[in-house]
A and B are shown apart, each in its own frame.
Chain A
Amino acid sequence: MYKYPNVDKLLSRRTFLLGLGKGVLFSSLFFRLIYLQLFKSDQYKVLADKNRISLRLIPPPRGSILDRNDNILALNKNNYNMLIEGTKNISEINETIEKISRIIFLSETEINNIFDSFLTKKKSDLPIFIKKNLKWSELASLNVNLINLSNVFIEQGIKREYPFHNLASHVIGYMSSPQKSDIKKNPFLEMMDTNIGRSGIEQSFEKELRGFPGTRHLEVNARGREIREISKEESVRGSNIKLTIDINLQKYINSLLKDKNGSILVIDVNNGELLAVESSPNFDPNLFTKSISQEKWDELIKNPMAPLVNKAISGEYSPGSTFKLIVLYSALINKIIKPNGAINCSSKVEYGDRNFYCWCHKKKTGCWATQTRTRKVGPELAIAQSCDGFFYKLAKKVGIENIAETAKNFGLGSKSGVNLKGEKSGLVPNKSWKKKHHKQSWKIGETMITGVGQGFLTTTPIQLAVMIAMFANNGKKIFPTIYKNIKGVNANDNEVFTTQTLYQKKFFSLIKNGMFSVVNKPFGTAFGSRTSRPIFAGKTGTVQVRTISENERELGIIPNKDLPFNQRDHALFLGFAPYKNPKIAVSVVIEHGGSGSKIAAPIAKKIFKKALL
């Protein structure tokens, strides 16, 4: 059995043992402190210095966007933003929001945004935006109450402003806050208050416009609150971009397209400069700067007329009768038809088990040829009258391969290369394309349909503008450009058609002569839009978007006005002016507008008058 010793003696002994234990523990602290404070001291001193210096980026002023006459289309305006100091404490944010809500109105979206940015940001020492673009009244009432809001401050920032609002909005584009994917590509975006270009020039020339951020080294506390500035390097302003757009012309065109769904381009036939690019309906880029509300955004996104889409470069349409210029040119250079040749025309062409109808089929007035009982139709009349019968037969003779080659030479079927994002390439079909995509061989009937610009063939309005400009300038290859002054990029080497021969000048005059007749001869399809100042030429197109059954043809084709909107024809007109010495070309595409001659041609006339007089 355990003999219990004298407790007092035992206590002394145990106290001594305990003291030894304390000594061991104490030594561990002692040596730890020697290690930290004597051996590692230099290292920790560096860390301590690093700790209190925070790098902040100063967003650079963004370059302005100007039109060709130096009107400012996009500029920076000062604005005032309210921020809360960086914090790790969500209740602090809650409290502050509550306090601020008593002073100024904060919408639910704004409050949600504050918490979103609180939860998503990686560095807790960066301030968070509470409200951007404060109004003067808000600024005034906040300034009075700022003493009670120690963790809130107001910062002057810059915001993008578009003084012309909806005008040229598709070309200029808009800006909005960077998304997660943008930040991944450029982590600096998170460190400064900046938006990035989302479409148009703002997007294409984001790098040039943005400039270089400046830096501020700040001594901060653990909550990121600025204590003092250690050093500052100013930001470098982004470059200005001067566009080829003429905003006054654009404004006029915008008014012509009011309540219409379509696009218009005006291009300089000699150098490819785009004087106006309008897509309707459009939008006000200023909406996005103020962080657009959900309703407004839904309104834009859900609108069936797609206001955010630049139809001038992204809309793919059958070119309709405007494509006949290509077919005729292809026939001429491939010597399928002589300039003075003619084809027996009829309003109904039968091939295989299909019938191909001319627009004049069963029309009371008929076409010039039927009225004058002319059976033989030459190229000039065929263009002027837009004889479908003529082109069915001609296309069949030229063959799809030749047509496709010519079309590609005029820039169809591939992107024009204009510096705007979202351009589509359209489609110029040929035999191998069909084999590849439809696993079927090409049918002659499809060549005939292509001959009148329907079928698989699609083009974008900008391609059509380039095409008509090339007819106007006798085949000189041009590249559409939207800006005037960016170094290195504007190499607009205007190469001349490599296949151009002496004969071709003759072909171009022949085709242009046909286009002159379209507008200026009584039998022309756009005779109603003729004008002597300036004399212009062009080609109409009315693009069918539905199949007309044989039955309907017998009963009489339903007129556009009786059809539901989205089954009505697209109205097209391509033209150039002045006729003698072409300067500009236009491409007018009105979706579901009706006939090219009645709807599109009058618009083109107005544009020529406005632009050239």
Chain B
Amino acid sequence: MNVIDFLPRINWFFVILLLLISSIGVALLYSIAGASWDPWALNQIIRILISLVVLILISLVNIGFWYKLANPLYLFSIFLIFLTFFYGKEVSGATRWIDLYFFSFQPAEITKIFVILALAKYFHSIKLQSYDIKQRIFFPLLILFIPVLLIFKQPDLGTALIIFFSGIIVLFLSGVQIKTFILSGIGSLILLPIFWTFLEDYQKSRFINFLDQQSNTLGANYHITQSKIALGSGGFFGKGFLEGTQSHLNFIPELETDFIFSVLGEEFGFLGILFLFFLYFIVICWTIKISLESKNYFSKIFGISFIASFFLVIFTNIGMVTGIIPVVGVPLPLCSYGGTAIVSNFIGFGIILSGYNYRDFKLQNI
């Protein structure tokens, strides 16, 4: 077999869709560096291209392979998180990174995919059995809580919450009774004060600042205020590519990662945001469509859970940037600068495409 044989088997429509979103990110990175490929845009392109190769390779492998690999990958990601405690690189008070000589790696990002993968496999394997609380709820929660607590300890509250809710979504999709969610929702509200005491001081202050946004505009809410100014001043049509004053004048911190959406809003306005939303919408809908079309439960539940988690990150990021939820440092999927996030998402989409390519494959056979 040579490469040419594989080309028709690649879902080019989806790949181009993902590349389109990624190139919006590259354009914004180019703009905030002051019309320069350095230091972000070029790196990002390289990462996208590497991730693209990874995606294609994964998508060409039979979904059964990923099904078999789900548990080892899950254990491997937990091992990686453990590594951060011993060999982690400390970045602003949190050890989330592993330094792999040529690039830094954030295990928490990839863990999100592998937790969903492991849960999907778990529910697939028990789908024919009768409803048993231990089996349907407690064991899945155990799978979920180990990485969540570890990541929470790093400390990376944002990602821990995202993984937690992604896991809950898998549970929801697997058919856990809705009243269980309602009851545990009420229960966690009661337990919230206890959880509060486990938070680090800076995490507490973020919440407090979120609740009190008007005052303290020069303090911790500075970022959000500046971000809102950037978005608001962009208006409907935006200030134009490379013309954003807020972003170019460097008022917003971490522009290249958490706040890249403000740059989009400032330079391309509401129109630009609509375009990005449209692309995200297609990605999400198309993923749900092909997931539901799959013959095996594993592909279905993974695809829908993954895309729900993908949406959750988008919502968290934009919600934070627009000031409707507290500052939790999560990147905008496919757009923000950051290798691990891009690779993780492309791995996730790769598995989905693999499920699509082998949608008729019967996992019961293995």
Contact = CB atoms under 8 A, between A and B. Distances in A.
Contacts of B228: 36, 44
B240 interface: no
A41 B297 CA distance: 47
Contacts of B175: 4-5, 7, 10-11, 14
A38 B229 CA distance: 12
A33 B250 contact: no
B324 interface: yes
B246 interface: yes
B110 interface: no
Given A48-B229, A221-B250, A223-B250, A18 B235 contact: no
A14 B304 CA distance: 10
Contact of A37 (B174, B234, B311): B234
Nearest to B316: A25
A33 B265 contact: yes
B313 to A, nearest CB: 12
B251 A222 contact: yes
Contacts of B252: 222
B300 interface: yes
Contacts of B235: 37-38, 41, 45
Interface in A312-364: none
A43 B169 contact: no
Given A4-B131, A38-B236, A45-B235, A29 B169 contact: no
Contact of A36 (B172, B232, B304, B308): B232
A26 B315 contact: yes
A1 to B, nearest CB: 8
B232 A43 contact: yes
A44 B304 contact: no
Contacts of A227: 249
B180 to A, nearest CB: 10
Give the size range of B's interface with the partner. 35 or more
A22 B308 contact: yes
Nearest to A225: B250
Interface in B298-319: 300-301, 304, 308, 311, 315, 318-319
* Chain A contact residues: helix, strand, loop or mixed: helix
Interface in B230-276: 230-236, 245-246, 248-252, 265, 269-270, 273
Contacts of A49: 245
Given A29-B318, A44-B229, A37 B265 contact: yes
A298 interface: no
Given A15-B288, A22-B311, A32-B324, A4 B250 contact: no
Nearest to A124: B218
B234 to A, nearest CB: 6
A47 interface: yes
Nearest to B296: A8
Contacts of A2: 131, 177
A486 to B, nearest CB: 43
A36 B261 CA distance: 13
A181 B315 CA distance: 49
B322 interface: yes
A22 B173 CA distance: 14
A29 B323 CA distance: 10
A475 B300 CA distance: 113
B245 A52 contact: yes
A376 interface: no
A28 interface: yes
A8 B318 CA distance: 32
Interface of A: 1-5, 7-8, 10-12, 14-15, 17-19, 22, 25-26, 28-30, 32-34, 36-38, 40-41, 43-45, 47-49, 51-52, 219-223, 227
